Structure 1
Amino acid sequence: MKQFFFMLILAVGMQFASAKDAVPLAEDPVTEQRLISISEEMRCLVCQNESLAGSRSDLANDLRAEIRTLIREGKTDDQIRSFMVERYGDFVLYRPPVKPITWLLWIGPFVILAFGIAGLLIYLRRRNALVAPKTLTTDDNKKIDDLLNAIAPDDGDKKA
């Protein structure tokens, strides 16, 4: 009887452990290739640093399904990109277009770099001005000698 239960548990466990073949995402390889080329140019809205093609989030799966539907409807790649931008904004594109609303996105890093370099140069010049060696005049040397002598008189002045 123990062997029967052991065999039954083993059989049920084998059903869960069996591997399944991968289901093709699209029946048409051309559609799938178009889907991949379009989705590689788009950003996953959840992951943000991953392309839509590489992301495995639920939203990315839904967006790929939406793109696949648009491809089957006969939409061009530009129409599909336009649809996605209308729906999710320019952020969905890895390379957003250069227009007034995205100027800061395109030019901002260079402006920040320029301010950083300018700040570094100002800092270095001020530091060099403070640290630069100054030559002493004879009057300055005499004042220093007088101060040192006032603090510690020469040994020759002391009488034994």
Structure 2
Amino acid sequence: MRAPLFLLALAVAAPLTAQTALPPAPYANQQLADPVQERKAHELMLTIRCVTCQSQSIADSDASMAADLRSEIRARIAAGEEPEQIRAWLIERYGAWISYQPTADPITWPLWAAPIALLAGGGALVIGRIRRKRRNA
């Protein structure tokens, strides 16, 4: 009876001690020497969603994938790439959801137009009611 319980406890505890064997990315937690480049990189990192946790930007996340993306962004900024080129590369690689900045692609036009249409419809209803009350009064 003790052996199965011991094996079960070992199986449950094993993942808790697991660590990645990979070294951290070079620029994951190290800022660039040039403050202008670091500011560009940080501003971009604030607008990129963490692939692992998805509720944080990669600038705020402690996930290893976020660290890899921070390092990649800093390396590309240091190499002279512009933030929008890097954003385009990330969107191409991971999809549009990785960016917190919404796009205005034709597929999303109904999402952008819906609030305007709802406001216009609500305004038309209010004006119609006001006119009816004036006629009936």
TM-score of Structure 1 vs Structure 2, range by shorter chain: 0.5 to 0.7
Contact 2:32/2:78, CA 8 A, preserved across alignment: no
Q: Which residue of 2 aligns with 1:70?
A: 76
Contact 2:45/2:70, CA 8 A, preserved across alignment: yes
Structure 2 distance, partners of 1:50, 1:91, is: 13
Deviations 1:35-55 (A, max 9, x none): 110111111111111112111
Q: CA deviation at 1:80?
A: 1.2
Contact 1:96/1:102, CA 8 A, preserved across alignment: no
Contact 2:41/2:83, CA 8 A, preserved across alignment: no
**Counterpart among 68, 80, 89 of residue 86 in structure 2:** 80
SS of 2:104's equivalent in the other structure is: coil
Q: Does 1:30 align with 2:33?
A: no
Q: CA deviation at 1:24?
A: 4.1
Q: Which ranges of structure 2 fall in alignment gaps of 5 or more residues?
A: 1-28, 119-137
Q: How does 1:103-142 map to 2 (within 5 A)?
A: 103=109, 106=112
Q: How many residues align?
A: 90
Calculate the TM-score normalised by the size of structure 2. Answer: 0.55
Structure 2 distance, partners of 1:71, 1:87, is: 18
Q: Which residue of 1 aligns with 2:53?
A: 47
Q: How does 1:3-14 map to 2 (within 5 A)?
A: none
Higher relative contact order, structure no. (Cα contacts within 8 Å, ≥ 6 residues apart) = 2
Q: CA deviation at 1:107?
A: 6.3
Matching residue's letter, 1:86: E
Calculate the TM-score normalised by the size of structure 1. Answer: 0.48
Structure 2 distance, partners of 1:75, 1:38, is: 12
Matching residue's letter, 2:64: D
- 56 and 98 in structure 1: CA distance in 2 versus 1, 3 angstrom threshold: same
CA-atom RMSD in angstroms: 2.5
Q: Which residue of 2 aligns with 1:135?
A: none
